[in-house]
Structure formats: C-alpha cells, structure tokens
Amino acid sequence: MLSYTEENYIKALLRLTLEKTVAGTNELAAQLGVKPATATDMLKKLREKQLIDYEKYGKISLTLEGRKKAMQVLRKHRLWETFLYEKLGFAWDEVHDIAEQLEHIQSEKLVEKLDKFLDFPKFDPHGDAIPNAEGEIKVFFTQTLSQIAVGNICRMAAVKDNSATFLQYVAQVGLSINEHIKIISKQPYDALTCIEVNGKQSNVSPKFTDNIFVVGENE
C-alpha cells in the first residue's frame, strides 16, 4: 500500500506527464511544494517500488502500474469533487482542497459505492473526465470529420478504422492525433472534402472523413 505522500508524488507525476512532455525533478518538487533534494529521494523510492522508470539525471515516467495507481487516486479525487459539488452544495472552486484530502481514503468498496451514489458520473464539476475503476479514461468521440462545416478548424481525436491501409492514408495527408484540420471546401459533385493540415491541402473521400473522430476547437 502506498503512503499518503507516495500517492501525492505519483499523482503529481501523472499531471505533469499528461500536461507536458516529460517531467523533471525541479518541476515535480515545485508542484508538490518541496525542495528538489526531497523529490530526488522519493524518486529513488518510487523506482524501488516499480512505480516509475528513472535513472539519475534522466527523465521520469510512470510505469504501467504507477500510472494505474495514479489514475485511481485521480478517480477518487474527481468522484469526491462531484460529491461535494452535487450533493453537499459546495461551490465549484471550493471542492479541490477538500478532495485533496478525501482522495487518500483507502477503501475500494467506498469508491464504488460513492460512484453508484453519484449515478456513475463521467465528468467532475470542472468538466474533467473521471477514470474508471481500472484507472482508464474512456473517451467516447461522437463527431467525425465529415460533420465539420466548411471554414471550421477541428482537431483529430481518434480513428474508427484501424486498418493498415487507412492508417497509412491518414499519415500520408499529414494527420496524427491532436493535429489541426481545416475544412477548405466540399465538392457537391463528387462529395470530396478538401482539408488543410499543416499548410498542406488534400482531397479526401467520405470514406475517409467518416472514419476520423474529431473534437471542435471551442472546447
């Protein structure tokens, strides 16, 4: 079982690795309000416990196990935030500090009962997704590239079709996850869509645009 402190370290690492590319010791220490020397000590300990991959002077990343543990803390945090907001009537901005304490309560059964009591919420009061019991965030995309109007910009979120030929085609037009896409025009005659990715324009078929999940820019 992880200590309160260890949980806070892996949670901070999760946040850093989600938001930015890689996490460094100073950044981690700042996030937690401790000195870098302290963080270094804890990093060694977390490595011993196989929660992170780390070599001295190198970059830090969570192992699968570490990430799962961190996500479970995040799950508790967001469920408690939802409880405080929805059930107890706390304001939007008051819930975080209390949830920081509640997220360390150890009881799987409590978490599951709380989840049920809240009617299995998918998002917390800030709109952030709540991980499931296995520590995964399932994001269900509903909008495909074909639904975006001419002139708008969106961002690629996922693909429906995972075939090699399709993925090669996707790469060929310069697309990848999070890449921006602008809809230049749509041809009424042959139903092709002209998209622009990184300054490069391509004409693609409905078969293509129907298989790309996107999110709008105004999120």
Partner DNA sequence: TAACAAAGTTAGATTAATCTAACAAATTTT
Partner DNA sequence: AAAATTTGTTAGATTAATCTAACTTTGTTA
Q: Using CB distances below 5 to 8 A depending on partner kind, what does residue 39 bind out of DNA, a second copy, none?
A: DNA
Residue appearing with tokens 């819930």? 95
Classify 210 as helix, strand or coil: coil
Cβ neighbours of residue 165 closer than 8 Å, sequence gap 6 or more: none
Residue 19 interacts with, from a second copy, DNA, none (CB under 5-8 Å by kind): none
> Nearest-CA neighbor of 25 among 61, 75, 70, 68?
61
- How many Cα neighbours within 13 Å face the side chain of 51? 24
Q: Is 121 in the site for a second copy (CB under 8 A)?
A: no
Q: How many residues bind a second copy (CB under 8 A)?
A: 18
Q: Cα–Cα distance between 115 and 121 in angstroms, integer?
A: 7
d(CA 25, CA 143): 39
Stretch that binds DNA, among 19-27, 62-70, 182-190, 197-205 (CB under 7 A): 19-27
Nearest to a second copy of 111, 170 (CB atom): 111
Residue 93 interaction partner, one of DNA, a second copy, none, beta carbon < 5-8 Å per kind: none
Decide if residue 37 touches DNA (CB under 7 A): yes
Q: How far apart are CA 18 and CA 9, in angstroms?
A: 14
Residue 3 Cβ vs DNA, minimum distance, rounded to whole Å? 3
Distances in Å between the Cα of 134 and the Cα atoms of 68, 71, 156 are: 7, 8, 26
| Residues 63/77, Cβ–Cβ less than 8 Å | no
Q: State the nearest-atom distance from the C-beta of 123 to a second copy, in Å.
A: 21
Q: What does 109 bind: DNA, a second copy, none (CB cut-off 5 to 8 Å by kind)? A: a second copy
Look at residue 38 and give the partner it binds from a second copy, DNA, none, a contact being a CB closer than 5 to 8 Å depending on partner kind: DNA
Choices 33-41, 77-85, 121-129, 198-206 (CB under 7 A): range interacting with DNA: 33-41
Q: Which of 19, 48, 57, 172 binds DNA (CB under 7 A)?
A: 57
Quickly count: other Cβ atoms within 10 Å of residue 212's Cβ.
25
Residues 6+ apart with CB under 8 A from 150: 183, 184, 185, 186
Residues 77-106 that bind a second copy (CB under 8 A): 84, 87-90, 94, 97-98, 101-102, 105-106
Enumerate binding residues for DNA (CB under 7 A).
3-6, 24-27, 33-45, 56-58
Enumerate binding residues for a second copy (CB under 8 A).
84, 87-90, 94, 97-98, 101-102, 105-107, 109-110, 113-114, 117
